[in-house]
């Protein structure tokens, strides 16, 4: 256990505040204007962490903070001999959750990544329906053209939280039928949503997750979400998003190359989260 004086840890906290403020500035400005955004709002609606929660600096396991009265009332912390540290009782209460996250992330690390889905999950979410999620934004190929793309491809979505948003007509077309229970057996490191979800697991492990790791996962999720929607059936060109035309051979190649890059970025973050779970459980 390392003990930090306030003069040691306060600069780290200030650097964290600066990084968060830069990452969230555009979102907070849009929220003030009540201006929705079909790409970036996902990080604050689908995922549960609020901007105010992201702004709190968490040092992670193995560190004690002297002269840190602000941590005395924060969940997951305890003050012992004048120093704030993670509360072992809170870790014990959450053992089952931590173990499940470790199992999921560890299984994903061990599985061979797949790069042939081409983002068709977003297309399956609007297949043969008028109730599209982003109604203010037109479908790039129109409803009929979108349906034809779905029907002319083999859909192999392995991610339950993407699959559950498929339309009723699209679900039988998926090669797999993912369930929550089967998630550790199906999730794989090439999946955009599995890699975006590293941000979810990092925040669910809070306050145990070091804040720098949380923000690394946030940045990855934001970048992946951009590709996810560029490859979607929506026409987002007015927002400055050039489409990745996955209905073409060139678009498929572009998507798969980006998918591989994100898998490479995600792997060390997944490894760090597994190591964190192991440290907490040990």
In tens, the pLDDT along 95-131 reads: 999 999 999 999 999 999 999 999 999 999 999 998 7
Task: Give the model's pLDDT for residue 60.
Answer: 96
Segment 191-243, tens digit of pLDDT: 999 999 999 999 999 999 999 999 999 999 999 999 999 999 999 999 999 99
CB 123 within 8 A of CB 165: no
Domain total of the chain:
1
Q: Is 72 exposed, middle or buried (0-12, 13-18, 19+ CB in 10 A)?
A: exposed
pTM for this prediction:
0.95
Range of the domain at 82: 2-281
Q: Is 218 exposed, middle or buried (0-12, 13-18, 19+ CB in 10 A)?
A: buried
Q: Flag whether pLDDT at 1 surpasses 90.
A: no
């Amino acid at each position: 256990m390392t003990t930090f004086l306030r003069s040691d840890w306060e600069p780290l906290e200030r650097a964290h505040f600066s990084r968060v403020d830069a990452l969230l500035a555009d979102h907070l400005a849009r929220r003030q204007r009540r201006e929705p955004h079909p790409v970036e709002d996902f990080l604050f609606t689908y995922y549960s962490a609020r901007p105010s929660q992201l702004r709190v600096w968490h040092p992670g396991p193995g560190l004690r903070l002297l002269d840190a009265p602000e941590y005395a009332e924060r969940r997951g912390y305890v003050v012992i001999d004048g120093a704030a540290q993670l509360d072992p009782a809170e870790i014990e209460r959450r053992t089952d959750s931590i173990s499940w996250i470790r199992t999921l992330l560890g299984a994903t690390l061990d599985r061979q990544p797949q790069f042939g889905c081409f983002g068709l999950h977003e297309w399956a979410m609007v297949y043969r329906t008028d109730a599209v999620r982003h109604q203010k934004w037109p479908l790039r190929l129109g409803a009929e053209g979108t349906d034809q793309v779905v029907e002319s491809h083999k859909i192999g979505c392995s991610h339950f939280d993407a699959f559950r948003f498929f339309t009723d007509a699209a679900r039988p077309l998926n090669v797999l039928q993912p369930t929550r229970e089967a998630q550790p057996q199906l999730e794989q490191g090439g999946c955009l949503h599995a890699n975006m979800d590293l941000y979810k697991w990092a925040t669910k492990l809070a306050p145990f997750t070091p804040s720098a790791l949380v923000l690394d996962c946030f940045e990855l999720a934001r970048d992946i979400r951009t590709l996810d929607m560029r490859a979607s059936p929506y026409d987002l060109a007015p927002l400055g998003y050039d489409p990745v035309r996955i209905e073409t051979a060139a678009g498929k190649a572009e998507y798969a190359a980006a998918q591989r890059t994100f898998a490479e970025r995600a792997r060390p973050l997944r490894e760090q989260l597994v190591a964190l779970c192991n440290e907490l459980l040990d």
